[in-house]
Each structure stands twice: as structure tokens, then as C-alpha cells.
Amino acid sequence: MHFQLPPRAQAKLVRVLRGRVLDVIVDIRSGSPTYGRHEAAELSAENAFMLYVPTGFAHGFVTLEPNSEVAYKVTDTYAPDCDRGLGWDDPALGIAWGVAPAAAILSDKDRKWPRLADLGPVF
């Protein structure tokens, strides 16, 4: 689950160009009544749905078909010094990804993100 810290925080508009994904957002805004809760939506080339990811939300997805392609529009450019993440498999989030942690294909960086309880205030 990815996000960027202020002052380079990003909102995103996400769509699928080919295939299908389960797209998930988590509210990480301190003091929000929905802090730590998530929403999930299936996006596909066929249904043409898009998902808006507001600033203050972590975002991630799992592909549901091989060779899926995802496109983003973002409100700011990538800023490595502001790049952060949240552990996708945190049991406290209760996200039903449909994939076992051992079967997930992740970058080394994505395997090391903290759980929500260890994240601290970021927004």
C-alpha cells in the first residue's frame, strides 16, 4: 500500500487498461472517523470503472488476470524522499486480497512497510 507524504502528497485516479485488478484504499488520516478502514473495488478494462484515491489514503492493488495494465493520473510527481507505504497484509486492516501472503509477488521495499499500528501520524 503506497502513499506520499506532504508536501508531495498525491491524489490519484486509477483505471485498468487491460485485465482486472482488485484495487484497495485505506484511510490513514489521523483523527478521521474512518481511520484504518478500507474500501475495495474491482476495476477492469471491461467495466471501465475508475477509482479516485484522495490524499491521505494508502493505495494498492492485486492483479486478478495475467498481463493486467493499470494507469494512474496523479496530482504530483513521484518524490522518493516522500515515498511511504503500509503493510498490505496487516491483519488489522482486514483486507480480503484473495492471495496468500506466501504467494504474493512483491518488491523487497513493499515487503518491509510497517503495519498500521506502527505507522504513526502521517496525515
- What is the predicted pLDDT for the residue at 100? 86
98 CB-near residues (< 8 Å, 6+ apart): 22, 62, 64
Active site residues: 2, 72
All structural domains of the chain with their residue ranges: 2-119
Backbone angles phi, psi at 21, to 5 degrees: -140, 155
- Kind plus residue range of the DSSP H or E element containing 116: helix 116-119
The CATH homologous superfamily of the domain defined by 2-119 = Jelly Rolls (2.60.120.10)
Give the pLDDT confidence of 6-49 residue by residue, as tens digits: 999 999 999 999 999 999 999 999 999 999 999 999 999 999 99
Helix then strand then coil, in percent of the chain rounded to 5, is 10, 35, 50
Give the pLDDT confidence of 48-105 residue by residue, as tens digits: 999 999 999 999 999 999 999 999 999 999 999 999 999 999 999 999 999 988 889 9
pTM: 0.95
* Exposure letters 3-39 (e unless 16+ CB within 10 A, then b): bbeeeebbebebbbeebbbbbbbbbbbeeeeeebebe
Give the pLDDT confidence of 40-52 residue by residue, as tens digits: 999 999 999 999 9
Residue type, 91: P
